[in-house]
Amino acid sequence: MQNKTWTDAALFDHLQKAVYLELWTIPLYLTAAYSLQVPGTNADHPPKPVTVRGKKNPNRSREQLAFNNIYSVVVQEMLHLELASNLFNALFAPKGYSPKFTGEWAPRYDRFPSWIAVNKPVKLGPVNPEQMSLLAAIETPEPKSDGAPNGPQDVYDSIGQFYKAIEQGIHQRWNDLYQPDADHRQKSEFANPQYIRDDYTRFSSTIGGDSRTALKQANEVLQAIVGQGEGNVGPIIDAELRPEDANDLEDQFSHFARFRMVQAMLKFGGPLETYPATGGSGLAAAQQQLTAGFTSLLTALEKGYAGDDELDLGSMWALPNQIVSVWSAGGVPQF
């Protein structure tokens, strides 16, 4: 890899791209998860995680099991979005900047992000072999053949390599950028132990305090993003990076392993029941509602991390109904 020097501008660019990358995964995974016709669910009552242990469990179905695996990844991607945004703000909020979620930084689904060299078609779609291949490609562990980062690059061989570069940049620029006494605009929605049923973790999702403490927290944030997802070379997540609830069986496994589980279900058990994209009279209205809801979410994220408002996630929790409404109307949800 070409040797370049880390600058404040290069690190700023990489952290904004990390925010985009984590946001980009969420609609892809949500669209797939809610395409599943889990028994007993519909647009008014979308699927939700339900324990399915034991073959005699009345909630057990192949669709519920697949939903659990995909949805559990979505929640951790929401955590990763929070972590990436907090990392951005820890260094650049004191300079008057905040991560962007709208305009050119709103997610698009016609290709992979341009800084990741994965040559694979991208589209939103239901759970099927083609779409699960895409989702698994996103979370594929960093190849051992990837070289170590040697300064900021325009394009990386893998997402894992991209995050290794960010780690290098943070370590090189930390002492010059970090301001201990500043307002770092940190949020904690998905890693807060007071919410027992949420996907909280054993590390701090916020970054602050003296420089040494904050750098330790920044390192833990990066380890969590990489260790739970595309940087994990094995199927099991380190215990320190998991939620404390031992009943969250899916969260013991890497994102790649969870998607491979669904791929195995399709390969050995045949197709899963999903909504057919046949079109219908209510499709336009359902899609319009989803578009408005997602736009509201992007605006809320941008305002929240800019410090203009509290982080209002009401529009995020409204997405399941809106997504299933589009699917049930015979369309593929668009973002």
Q: Where are the domains of the chain?
A: 8-279
For residue 124, is pLDDT > 90?
Answer: yes
Measured in whole angstroms, how far is the alpha carbon of residue 254 from the centre of its chain? 13
In which band, very low, low, confident or very high, does the pLDDT at 4 lie, cut at 50, 70 and 90? confident
Q: What is the mean pLDDT of residues 298-322?
A: 93
The total of other beta-carbon atoms located within 10 Å of residue 311's CB is: 16
pTM: 0.92
Q: What is the mean pLDDT of residues 92-120?
A: 96
For residue 196, is pLDDT > 70?
Answer: no
Say what the pLDDT of residue 66 is.
97
Say what the pLDDT of residue 1 is.
45
Q: What is the mean pLDDT of residues 313-328?
A: 96
Q: What is the mean pLDDT of residues 229-253?
A: 67
For residue 82, is pLDDT > 80?
Answer: yes
What residues form DSSP beta bridges with 116?
156
DSSP 271: P
DSSP 36: B
Tell me the C-alpha to C-alpha distance, in Å, between residue 156 and each of 149, 166, 206.
Answer: 9, 11, 27
Q: Which CATH superfamily is domain 8-279 in?
A: Ferritin, core subunit, four-helix bundle (1.20.1260.10)
Name residues whose C-beta falls within 8 Å of residue 207's C-beta, 6 or more positions apart in sequence: 86, 87, 90, 184, 186, 214, 217, 218, 221
In which band, very low, low, confident or very high, does the pLDDT at 112 lie, cut at 50, 70 and 90? very high
- Measured N-to-C along each axis, helices 255-269 and 62-92 cross at an angle, to the nearest 10 degrees, of 160
Q: Which residue has the tokens 């605009």?
A: 185
Burial label, 173 (beta-carbon count in 10 A; 0-12, 13-18, 19+): middle
For residue 128, is pLDDT > 70?
Answer: yes
Say what the pLDDT of residue 197 is.
47
Is there a contact between 81 and 26 (Cβ–Cβ < 8 Å)?
yes
Residue 293's nearest CA partner among 268, 271, 318 is 318
**Higher confidence at residue 51 or residue 265?**
265
